[in-house]
Amino acid sequence: MDMLEKKIYFIGGKGGVGKSTTSAALALLLAQKRKKILLVSTDPAHNTGDLFHRNFSGGKIESATENLDVLEIDSEQESRNYINGVKGNLKGLVKATMLEEVNRQIDMAASSPGAEEAALFDKITSLILRNTQTMMLLFLTQHRPDIQSGS
């Protein structure tokens, strides 16, 4: 299969290696080839918007150019949305007398290592399942300063 015919691309790496630039360049190239592209960024610096001279930080899919949409995900907001969704789903399943304790336990779990990443994984999975006719570039970045990648 030709490299430019893949359905999903993951662009990652340490800080300063060119993830934003590579993602934007590949997205533009594919869009110019008449591919419908969704560029998704989890970069808290929102450099993707800088590259397009636009502000994409609203958390909504926005058009950048013909055939190219961009979504910049705020991982902290996405984590809050995910936790609130879990609480909402459990509300009708748990006795009212236990709900406060269940919510307290969920809040404690939300501050555990990996909770933001789990919320992002859930968001990305839903994007993939909803956008079956779109090629995706997923620009994933290290977004928690307390998580260090190996040297």
Cα dihedral sign for 149, 48, 117, 12? negative
Catalytic residue among 2, 43, 122, 146: 43
107 catalytic, yes or no?
no
Q: What is the largest CA-CA distance in the chain?
A: 58
End-to-end alpha carbon distance in the chain: 32
Residue 70: CB atoms within 10 Å: 26
Contacts by 50-56, CB closer than 8 A, 24 or more apart: 50/20, 51/20, 51/21, 51/24, 52/24
Active site residues: 43
